[in-house]
Amino acid sequence: MSAEYIPGTCNLGKSEVRRRQIVALIGAAFSISSGVTLASSDVSTIGKFSVFLPLMVFAIGFVQSRKKFCLAYGLAGTFNLGKMGEISKVQNPADRAADRKTALVILAQSAALALALTLAFVIATR
């Protein structure tokens, strides 16, 4: 794992990556719980799309942990490679732009993953 900030590539240290993994696990647990509840109840097809929200939590945590890049830090122009709470500012405007671009890519990838999983769930539970 990289121990240095790399614009548009790495803005998280080991403890921050672990935090994103925990978010992904929590999102997965809520997704499974929501999915079981929705599948076993008389919810309309449209209502089943509500599983998208916990799946989005899962997807954001998963993608961020895999990429070692926080979309919120990327949008805010910050990074953290040390202890939790030791956030540093990105000084170079070109680096901030690269981070914003990566953050938006992560958001789009997370939304695509959550949507694909949601569609699979809705189709499987028809």
Q: Which residues of the chain fall short of a pLDDT of 70?
A: 1-2
Rounded to an integer, what distance in angstroms lies between the CA atom of residue 4 and that of residue 16?
Answer: 13
Q: Mean pLDDT score of the chain, rounded to an integer?
A: 96
Write down the pLDDT at residue 1: 53
Tokens for 68, please give them.
């070692």
Q: Which residues contact 89 (CB under 8 A, 6 or more apart)?
A: 77, 78
pTM strictly above 0.85:
yes
Rounded to an integer, what distance in angstroms lies between the CA atom of residue 54 and that of residue 3?
Answer: 31
Q: How far is CA 79 from CA 16, 30, 100, 121, in A?
A: 10, 28, 12, 35
